[in-house]
Amino acid sequence: MTWRRTINPLPYKSLKESHSFQQSESSNNNICYDHQCSADIKGEHKGNNTVSDGQSGMKHTFRLPLSFEFVIAGRYLRARRKEGFISLISMLSVAGVMVGVMALVVVIAVMSGAETEFRERILGVEPHILVMEYSGMFNNYPDAEKKVLLMERTAASYRDIISVSPLVFGQAMIRTSSGMSGAVLRGIDPESGISMIKGYSTDDLKKLLGEDRLALDPSSAAFPGIILGRELARNIGVKEGDKIILMSTGGILSPVGHMPSMKRFEVVGLFESGMYEYDTSLVYVNIRSAQSLMGMGSRISAMGVWVDDIYGASAVKDAIVDTLDYPYYARDWMEINQSLFSALKLEKTAMFVILTLIILVAAFNIASALIMMVMEKTRDIAVFKAMGATDRMVRKIFMIQGMIIGLSGTVMGTVTGVIVCFLLKKYEFIELPAAYPFSTLPVQLEAADVILIAAASFIICLVSTLYPSYKASRTNPVEALRYG
Q: Tens digits of per-residue pLDDT, 201-216?
A: 888 888 888 776 655 5
Instruction: Give me the chain's average pLDDT, please.
Output: 80
For residues 18 and 135, the model is more confident at 135
Predicted pLDDT at 254: 61
Helix, strand, coil in percent for the chain, rounding step 5: 50, 20, 30
Residue ranges in 327-445 assigned as alpha helix (H): 333-336, 338-376, 378-386, 391-427
Predicted pLDDT at 11: 42
For residues 228 and 295, the model is more confident at 228
Domain positions in the chain: 3-66, 70-119+341-483, 127-334
**Closest among 73, 41, 178, 177 to 405, alpha carbons compared:** 73
Q: Chain centroid to CA 337: how far?
A: 20
Checking if the pLDDT of 47 tops 60, the result is no
> What is the DSSP code string of 22-77?
EESSTT------HHHHGGG--S---SS-EEE-TTT--EEE------HHHHHHHHHH
Q: Which of 115-119, 169-173, 383-387, 452-456 has the highest mean pLDDT?
A: 452-456
d(CA 352, CA 108): 7
Lowest mean pLDDT among 7-21, 120-134, 226-240, 315-329: 7-21
d(CA 413, CA 421): 12
Predicted pLDDT at 253: 61
pLDDT tens across 251-306, in order? Answer: 666 666 667 788 899 999 999 988 888 999 999 999 999 988 888 888 899 999 99
Q: Place 139 in a pLDDT band, splitting at 50, 70 and 90.
A: confident
Predicted pLDDT at 470: 94
d(CA 395, CA 102): 30
Q: What are phi and psi of 154, to 5 degrees?
A: -80, 165
Q: Place 44 in a pLDDT band, splitting at 50, 70 and 90.
A: very low
Checking if the pLDDT of 337 tops 80, the result is yes
